[in-house]
Amino acid sequence: MEFGIAFKGEIDPKRTVAIARQVEGAGFDYAWFFDSHILWADPYPKIALCMEHTERLRYGPLVTNPKVRDWSVAASLFATLSKISNGRFDIAVGRGDSSMRVMGKKPGTIAYTTEFCAAVRTMVAGESYQYDECPAPVFMDWVDKHKLPVWIAAYGPKALKMAGEIGDGLALQLADPGLC
């Protein structure tokens, strides 16, 4: 069994690093950081900071949203974090329920989320990818060609089906319905 911890965005960076080191020492496997741009501070600077101070712990956003992070920018960010951590970076991706709904917008579709996952996974692996909006395949020649584990955040039947088809893992939220 694997264990992880999830960090909210308002925790002080020095405290976040101290906790990451402590949970790594206790045998935890993952450190996830909330990624909902209106609700929390951007997680990626803290992820990079913690990576510098740990050796084994895997990191990732929980949950990134393809509707607010362009796939090409996300692929570059994820490849950079994978490179500086020697492959200790995963992502959890969802349709963007919290970050889109707080702005009064609809979350992304299953198809859009699936395409985003394929694009970033392929690009981080050092392969070329032709997204439907690009006239030709694109390629980042500087990546270290790491496998990017993609966890799918899902709770409805269609999203759970997608998770089973394309995901390396499932991020399942179980909460009091009154909180949603």
In a domain, 111, yes or no: yes
Using DSSP's 3-state secondary structure scheme, residue 40 falls into: coil
Predicted TM-score (pTM) of the model is 0.91
- For residue 142, the model assigns a pLDDT of 96
* Alpha-carbon distances, residue 110 vs 84, 126, 155, 156 (angstroms): 31, 25, 12, 11
Identify the CATH number of the domain in which residue 89 sits.
Answer: 3.20.20.30
> Is residue 179 in a domain?
no
pLDDT at 97: 82
In whole angstroms, what is the distance from residue 112 CA to residue 46 CA? 27
Is the pLDDT assigned to residue 64 strictly greater than 80?
yes
Peptide bond connecting 143 to the previous residue in cis, omega within 30 degrees of 0: no
| 8 Å CB contact between 129 and 123 | yes
Strands ordered across the beta sheet of 58-64: 4-7, 30-33, 58-64, 91-93, 150-153, 169-171
180 located within any domain: no
Which token pair is 96?
């963007």
pLDDT at residue 25 is higher than 70: yes
Q: Which range of residues forms the domain containing residue 137?
A: 4-173
How far apart (Å, rounded) are the C-alpha atoms in residues 65 and 20?
A: 24
- From the number of C-beta atoms within 10 Å of its C-beta (0-12, 13-18, 19+), residue 149 rates as middle
User: Considering the domain boundaries, does residue 90 fall inside one?
Assistant: yes
Is 15 a member of any domain? yes
Of the chain, the end-to-end C-alpha distance in Å amounts to: 28
pLDDT for the residue 155 = 86
Q: What pLDDT shows up at residue 73?
A: 95
Give per-residue pLDDT as tens, 143-173: 999 999 999 999 889 999 999 999 999 998 7
Q: 90 and 57 in contact (C-beta within 8 Å)?
A: no
pLDDT, average across residues 48-77? 95
For residue 71, being part of any structural domain is answered with yes
Are the C-beta atoms of residues 57 and 28 closer than 8 Å to each other?
A: yes
Whether 178 is covered by a domain: the verdict is no
User: What does the DSSP assignment read for 116-168?
Assistant: HHHHHHHHHTT--B--TT-SS-B--TT-------EEEE--SHHHHHHHHHH-S
**Range with the poorest average pLDDT among 3-7, 30-34, 86-90, 169-173:** 169-173
Please indicate, yes or no, if residue 168 is contained in any of the structural domains: yes
Q: What is the mean pLDDT of the chain?
A: 92
Number of structural domains (the chain) is 1
Given a cut of 90, is residue 131 above it in pLDDT? Answer: no
Overall size of the chain counted in residues = 180
